[in-house]
């Protein structure tokens, strides 16, 4: 590998996320003003606190985006205006912390145990970032109106209702008999669970007809369509994705209990979410986050090309979650929008 002290070295960071404590949430693309102090850089299950007196967050993030393996140290210095010495110092420090990507191009097989551990670490990182999203901090701090919380439960209904669609797609395009059987059992356990979210929404004041005729937001459609596409082209990637979407905050018992508390805080009836919480309890009991381990139990390794594809699909799904959350904020914060969202038919034109 080229030395980090070589000006022609092209540094590339391992995949990471950032948490900005003084903004109470994720690093979206909002206001980047502020000093780089106490910012958390999350890589897998490791957390690094960044601090540099006088350095601006925006300056650091601008620098970070060129650590993509396509720019040399010298080019990064020229583009960002940061001296070569400081650029080398930052890159070297990151490398010493094990934060630089090191590719083994000769690696054709990844031991199953190694693959599973890395997927677990990455899912923990992305689940944590999803939890940092300003949708959740905004709900916790009551900075959003009541309808945003209602919208979260409405989109959760659509989210759960999509299960049979993406699971059946995975079954239809799976060529491993054992995996097909496992996915069929998964479908049987997940089929028609949306009534639990629907009944919670009825408890919150909507009618059954309003819920069942509601139209999902585009972010929700995008999430579902992305997962269906992953299920169509990459069974291993789909199984890896179950570790993310079955373990996201709202799908854990702690997350469900938080929702119960928030519902009361927003003025909805106590225990209105009891049916939805029962769905979460059933999923936890079924251990749907363990499907990937079950699928790979009798395999010693994963072909590297399949591992790369699965990880990329898993990362794309994480960003689908971001769109999903942003969509909820945008649509349900707008006082002019119909709730639940209506379909637009020809006579509406």
Question: Over the chain, what is the mean pLDDT?
Answer: 87
* Domain that residue 81 falls in: 17-96
Angle formed at CA 240 by CA 239 and CA 243, multiple of 5 degrees:
100
Could you say which of 65, 96, 127 is where a domain stops? 96
Residue 7 forms part of a structural domain: no
Residue 183 forms part of a structural domain: yes
Residues 161 and 55 in one domain: no
Residues 74 and 149 in one domain: no
Residues 254 and 298 in one domain: yes
Distance of alpha carbon 139 from the chain centroid: 18
Residues 123 and 190 in one domain: yes
Q: How many CB atoms lie within 10 A of CB 70?
A: 9
Residue 296 forms part of a structural domain: yes
Summarize the confidence of residues 88-108 as an average pLDDT.
86
Which is more confident, 250 or 149? Answer: 149
User: How would residue 33 be classed by pLDDT, with cut points 50, 70 and 90?
Assistant: low
| pLDDT at residue number 248 | 53
Res 151 pLDDT > 50: yes
Could you say which of 48, 73, 96 is where a domain stops? 96
Summarize the confidence of residues 76-104 as an average pLDDT.
88
| pLDDT at residue number 133 | 85
Q: What are phi and psi of 55, to 5 degrees?
A: -80, 135
Distance of alpha carbon 230 from the chain centroid: 15
Could you say which of 68, 96, 124 is where a domain stops? 96
Pairing mode of beta strands 109-111, 46-56: unpaired
Residues 161 and 75 in one domain: no
Res 1 pLDDT > 80: no
Structure tokens at 20: 């900005």
Q: What is the pLDDT of residues 60-74, one digit of tens each?
A: 888 889 999 999 999
In 108-145, alpha helices (H): 112-132, 134-140
| pLDDT at residue number 30 | 45
Residue 10 forms part of a structural domain: no
Q: Is 247:123 a contact under the CB 8 Å cutoff?
A: yes
Res 48 pLDDT > 90: no
Give the CA dihedral 251, 293, 323, 20, nearest 10 degrees. Answer: 80
Residues 333 and 251 in one domain: yes
Q: Tell me which of 60-64, 246-250, 270-274, 300-304 is least confident.
A: 246-250
- Cα(118)–Cα(104) distance, rounded to whole angstroms? 16
| pLDDT at residue number 221 | 96
Residue 6 forms part of a structural domain: no
Residues 74 and 218 in one domain: no
Residues 6 or more apart whose Cβ sits within 8 Å of residue 51: 36, 37, 38, 39
Domain total for the chain? 2
- Cα(157)–Cα(194) distance, rounded to whole angstroms? 6
- Cα(162)–Cα(318) distance, rounded to whole angstroms? 17
Res 287 pLDDT > 70: no
Residues 200 and 292 in one domain: yes
Q: Is 18:132 a contact under the CB 8 Å cutoff?
A: no
Residues 185 and 306 in one domain: yes
| pLDDT at residue number 4 | 62
Place of tokens 């090191």: 102
Q: What are phi and psi of 317, to 5 degrees?
A: -65, -35
Single pTM value for the model: 0.84
Summarize the confidence of residues 96-104 as an average pLDDT.
84
| pLDDT at residue number 54 | 60
| pLDDT at residue number 140 | 92
Res 286 pLDDT > 60: yes
Structure tokens at 120: 């677990």
- Cα(149)–Cα(141) distance, rounded to whole angstroms? 12
Short-list 31, 25, 18, CA closest to 141: 25
Residues 209 and 74 in one domain: no
Q: What is the pLDDT of residues 170-227, one digit of tens each?
A: 999 999 999 999 999 999 988 878 888 999 999 999 999 999 999 999 999 999 999 9
Q: Tell me which of 111-115, 130-134, 199-203 is least confident.
A: 130-134
| pLDDT at residue number 16 | 80
Res 231 pLDDT > 80: yes
Domain with residue 224: its CATH number is: 1.20.910.10
Short-list 68, 67, 326, 76, CA closest to 219: 326
Residue 29 forms part of a structural domain: yes
- Cα(120)–Cα(116) distance, rounded to whole angstroms? 6
Residue 26 forms part of a structural domain: yes
Residue 254 forms part of a structural domain: yes
Res 23 pLDDT > 60: no
Summarize the confidence of residues 28-54 as an average pLDDT.
66
Short-list 246, 240, 255, CA closest to 315: 240
Residues 52 and 143 in one domain: no
| pLDDT at residue number 22 | 52
Residues 75 and 113 in one domain: no
Residues 6 or more apart whose Cβ sits within 8 Å of residue 41: 16, 17, 18, 47, 48, 49, 50, 99
Helix then strand then coil, % of the chain, to nearest 5: 60, 10, 30
């Amino acid at each position: 590998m080229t030395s980090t002290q070589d000006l022609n070295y092209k540094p590339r960071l391992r995949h990471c996320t950032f948490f900005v404590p003084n903004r109470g949430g994720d690093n979206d693309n909002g206001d980047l003003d502020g000093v780089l102090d106490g910012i958390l850089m999350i890589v897998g299950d490791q957390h690094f606190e960044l601090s540099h007196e006088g350095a601006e967050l925006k300056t650091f993030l601008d620098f970070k985006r060129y650590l993509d393996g396509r720019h040399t140290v010298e080019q990064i210095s020229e583009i960002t205006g940061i001296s070569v010495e400081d650029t080398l110092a930052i890159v070297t420090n990151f490398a010493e912390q094990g934060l630089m990507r090191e590719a083994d191009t000769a690696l054709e097989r990844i031991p199953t145990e190694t693959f599973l551990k890395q997927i677990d670490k990455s899912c923990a990182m992305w689940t944590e970032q999803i939890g940092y999203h300003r949708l959740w901090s905004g709900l916790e701090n009551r900075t959003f109106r009541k309808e945003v919380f209602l919208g979260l439960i409405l989109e959760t209904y659509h989210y759960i209702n999509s299960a049979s669609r993406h699971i059946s797609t995975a079954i239809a395009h799976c060529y491993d008999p054992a995996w097909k059987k496992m996915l069929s059992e998964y479908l049987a356990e997940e089929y028609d669970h949306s009534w639990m979210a629907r009944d919670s929404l009825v408890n919150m004041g909507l009618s059954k007809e309003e819920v069942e005729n509601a139209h999902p937001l585009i972010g929700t459609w995008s999430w579902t369509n992305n997962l269906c596409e992953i299920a169509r082209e990459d069974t291993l990637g789909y199984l890896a994705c179950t570790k993310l979407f079955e373990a996201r905050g709202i799908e854990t018992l702690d997350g469900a209990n938080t929702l119960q508390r928030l519902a009361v805080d927003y003025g909805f009836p106590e225990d209105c979410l009891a049916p939805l919480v029962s769905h979460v309890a059933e999923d936890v009991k079924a251990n749907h986050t363990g499907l990937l381990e079950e699928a790979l139990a009798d395999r010693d390794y994963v072909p590297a090309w399949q591992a790369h594809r699965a990880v990329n699909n898993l990362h794309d799904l994480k960003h689908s979650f971001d769109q999903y959350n942003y969509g909820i904020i945008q649509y349900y914060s707008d006082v002019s929008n119909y709730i639940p969202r209506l379909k637009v038919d020809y006579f509406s034109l």
